[in-house]
Amino acid sequence: MPVSVLIVDDSGFFRHRIEEMLKDDPRLSVVGTAVNGKEAVELAKRLKPDVVTMDVEMPQMNGIEAVRIIMREAPTNVLMLSSLTHEGARVTLQALEAGAADYLPKDIRAWMDKGSSVRSQLIDRLVALGRSRRHRRSTAFERSYPGHAEKGTTMVFRPEPEKPRSTTSATTSSPRARTTPAPRTAPSALRSRETAPPVASPAVSSGKNDPATTPASRVRFPDCKLVVIGASTGGPAALQKVLTALPANYPYPILLVQHMPKTFTQVFAERLNQQCNISVKEAEDGDRMRPGLALLAPGGLQMMIDPKQTDRVRILPGDERLTYKPSVDVTYASAAKTYSGKVLGVILTGMGADGCDGARLLKQAGSTMWAQNRDTCTIYGMPQAVVNANLADAVLALEDIGPLLANRGPR
């Protein structure tokens, strides 16, 4: 059965363009379109789509307000479409706080260019989010968003209040850094595909009862000097959930790799720094790693550890053959080479397999890997790749990862 899609945008051009991009893919079916947030809410409740594409700025009710209501009354995966500006990054993060699962940059030039990669990116995200939604209908997703406001949700971020807009009805329609040579860590082994095909999902039970999930009581914090966390789709909320559990005097430095454009990583780091007890900043070339500081890899670049000054990071363009910038593989590989068996790698929710090759190098060096479990992932891609390769020492529910990091420091 095709993944059902509801398209929400006040721009006729974008509604038509999205429909045009999706119409020839048998895995997807457009079940409706809406021109504002109010229509989106009504159609989401009536059509129950697997995934919604959502514009941000719309008349009558904007996308953020619509996402909040949808997640409360008709929970589903929402893909936000937003600009690459600083303001676009800010409002996109607000949408993720409201419960949206992922986002895609809305650059009209790229969307008009039929030779660009936008179509494949859009389709890959929609298919992955739709299939993930179907799995979670009978597991953690419905328990997280039970459809009634009074029962609460598991939304991680603390949303910022916004002024309500009028909700009159409308017509619906249907169907940075010096240039340095690339790292020598087997570039071909570090390549990963943005459009990696979905891996067949095994039949599992839900939540912590999933037999693949490691009980937190059985997990011991390893002897390490550095924590490295990688994430992609669903990562902003997952990272915030993990990092806010850490105390201000956290005894380890942390490196964060989240697939995001440059403008987004700057805003995201600032936001995490406001919300966490530890310090968080977008990494700059030469930054010193220290306990209680999390350095976030900047979008469009790679973050590695300086082999000459092992308490500092290098921010570099990296190998052009690598799909992801930043890449979890690159940072994992650098940590494995520099800190050998003294690294705790954590792989969180995300599409594709970025992090798997780097995790293999960490394990070969004697380090420890934790992976997020399926039922708490927005997309069980990156963690599943690590688990399927037998590289995970523990497979953990998201809500256990932060407390385990926080409570198992040196005695």
Question: Is-catalytic flag, 138?
Answer: no
Name residues whose C-beta falls within 8 Å of residue 387's C-beta, 6 or more positions apart in sequence.
212, 371, 395
Annotated catalytic residue: which of 50, 102, 354, 400?
Answer: 354
The DSSP element (H or E) to which 238 belongs, if any, is helix 235-243
- Rounded to 5, what percent of the chain is helix, strand, coil? 35, 20, 45
Name residues whose C-beta falls within 8 Å of residue 402's C-beta, 6 or more positions apart in sequence.
241, 242, 243, 244, 245, 246
Residues β-bridged to residue 81: 55, 104
Instruction: Return the exposure string of 150-172: e unless at least 16 CB atoms fall within 10 Å of the residue's CB, then b.
Output: eeebebbbeeeeeeeeeeeebeb
Question: Is-catalytic flag, 354?
Answer: yes
Question: Is-catalytic flag, 16?
Answer: no
Q: Is 216 left (phi over 0), alpha (psi -120 to 50) or beta?
A: alpha
Residue 319 has a CB neighbour count (10 Å cut-off) of: 19
Contact 256/357 with Cβ under 8 angstroms? no
Cα–Cα nearest to 269, from 239, 245, 311: 239
Annotated catalytic residue: which of 55, 102, 206, 259?
Answer: 259
Catalytic residue positions, numbered: 232, 259, 354
